[in-house]
Structure 1
């Protein structure tokens, strides 16, 4: 696992995180203008979130999740050190010193060698 220093503050959006598992049916909507590899996915429950489009079997409309994904994001402050677990679509799944984990943009961290 790698470690990184946060170089730009990141705050999770004010909406509940959603999770998808392989086989889950969703409705895909618009692409994110800042992160074009992400698409708005709406669950049958009506909750939605941004998920990498590569994780679905379609580009728009009705789709099925091919892999597991959790939209939880990690709040992080400049100077904080985080552990990086894996990268997907220019975001890192990271963990802070308190054990909280979630996604943080790759552009918000600097890897420590």
Structure 2
């Protein structure tokens, strides 16, 4: 497992996270301007969130999720060290020292190795 130090604060958006499971049908909208690999996905319950486009079988309109995805983001402050699990679309699924988990953008992280103080 990799580790990283947070170098810039990150806060999750105020909206509720959504989860899609493989096989779920969603409606896809526009791609994000800052993160073009993400598309706005609206679940059948009406909640929406940014999800990497490669999670779906289409680029726009009606689509089916090809794999599970959770849009939960992780709040983190500079100096916090996180355990990293997996990277997807320039974001890392991370675990904070208190056990909280979620996505955090790679651009706010400094990847650590054994030689990093």
The normalised TM-score by structure 1 is 0.99
Question: Is 1:39 paired with 2:39?
Answer: yes
Aligned to 1:14: 14
What is the CA–CA distance in structure 2 between the aligned matches of 1:79 and 1:8, rounded to whole Å? 8
Aligned to 1:100: 100
Structure 1 runs of 4+ with >4 Å offset: none
What is the CA–CA distance in structure 1 between the aligned matches of 2:55 and 2:104, rounded to whole Å? 18
1:59 Cα deviation from its structure 2 partner: 0.3
Question: Is 1:67 paired with 2:62?
Answer: no
Root mean square deviation, CA, Å: 0.3
What is the CA–CA distance in structure 2 between the aligned matches of 1:4 and 1:49, rounded to whole Å? 25
1:60 Cα deviation from its structure 2 partner: 0.1
Structure 1: stretches of 5+ with no match in the other structure = none
What is the CA–CA distance in structure 2 between the aligned matches of 1:10 and 1:83, rounded to whole Å? 16
Give the SS at the match of 2:54: helix
Structure 2: stretches of 5+ with no match in the other structure = none
Question: Is 1:29 paired with 2:29?
Answer: yes
1:50 Cα deviation from its structure 2 partner: 0.2
What is the CA–CA distance in structure 1 between the aligned matches of 2:35 and 2:67, rounded to whole Å? 19
The normalised TM-score by structure 2 is 0.96
User: Could you report, residue by residue, the CA deviation over 1:10-52 in whole angstroms, capped at 9, with x for unpaired residues?
Assistant: 0000010100001000000010000000000001110000000
